[in-house]
Each structure stands twice: as structure tokens, then as C-alpha cells.
């Protein structure tokens, strides 16, 4: 069975862009960690107990990324640079329709 590939571009604060590929059903955190994207660590492994995978998801993909669950919303309250497009990368599961998404790394 062939898996569907998705692409995501991580944009760093210095303007550097890293385009990576992964499989549909992966989290943004997994895409970043599996491809060595600096600035996204995922120390808790996706347990929503840290903010080391915090990122900003650009439109239109932010709306496609789903609603924040209460645990994610609560942990994001502790992020000083939180913005309206903040997400924990571990909670954003990439679909085929999201291929090409732009993610900004704080």
C-alpha cells in the first residue's frame, strides 16, 4: 500500500526556509523532528505537556488544522510569544489537502 506524501515549509525567524516531506497522518512535530528542522524539538513526544513544538501555522492551513482542544489551549497560555495562529506542532495532523503548508518557527 502506497502512502501519500505531504510537503511542509518551515520558515525561521532569520528568513531561512526548510521544505520537508513526510506522510499524511504525521504531525507537524514529527515532520520537523524527523527531518532535523531546528527550533522544533518535541521533548514530550506529543503529550501536550511542553511547548517545544510551538509553531505558527499560516492561513489557509491554520483553519484546516482543526480546533485546539482544551489541553492544547491551556498549555499555549504559557507561551510568551503566542499569537492567534499558534499551535503545538504535535497536535496538528497533516492531511493530503494540507500539502504545501507554511509553518513559521518562533
CA atoms of 103 and 42, how far apart (whole Å): 15
End-to-end CA distance of the chain: 36
For 5-104, the fitting CATH number among 3.40.50.1370, 3.40.50.720, 3.10.20.30, 3.40.50.10860 is 3.10.20.30
Tell me the per-residue pLDDT of 54-75, one tens digit each, with 9 for 90 and over.
999 999 999 999 999 999 999 9
CA atoms of 98 and 18, how far apart (whole Å): 16
Domain boundaries, the chain: 5-104
Q: What is the structure's pLDDT at 3?
A: 80
Q: What is the structure's pLDDT at 2?
A: 64
Tell me the per-residue pLDDT of 26-44, one tens digit each, with 9 for 90 and over.
999 999 999 999 999 999 8
Tell me the per-residue pLDDT of 72-88, one tens digit each, with 9 for 90 and over.
999 999 999 999 999 99
| DSSP E strands, the chain | 5-11, 17-23, 54-57, 86-88, 101-104
Amino acid at each position: 500500500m502506497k502512502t501519500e506524501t505531504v510537503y511542509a515549509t518551515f520558515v525561521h525567524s532569520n528568513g531561512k526556509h526548510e521544505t520537508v516531506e513526510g506522510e499524511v497522518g504525521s504531525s507537524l512535530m514529527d515532520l520537523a523532528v524527523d527531518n532535523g528542522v531546528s527550533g522544533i524539538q518535541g521533548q514530550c513526544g506529543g503529550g501536550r505537556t511542553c511547548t517545544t513544538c510551538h509553531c505558527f501555522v499560516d492561513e489557509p492551513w491554520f483553519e484546516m488544522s482543526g480546533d485546539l482542544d482544551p489541553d492544547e489551549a491551556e498549555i499555549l497560555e504559557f507561551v510568551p510569544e503566542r499569537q492567534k495562529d499558534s499551535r503545538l506542532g504535535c497536535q496538528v495532523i497533516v492531511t493530503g489537502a494540507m500539502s504545501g503548508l507554511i509553518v513559521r518557527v518562533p
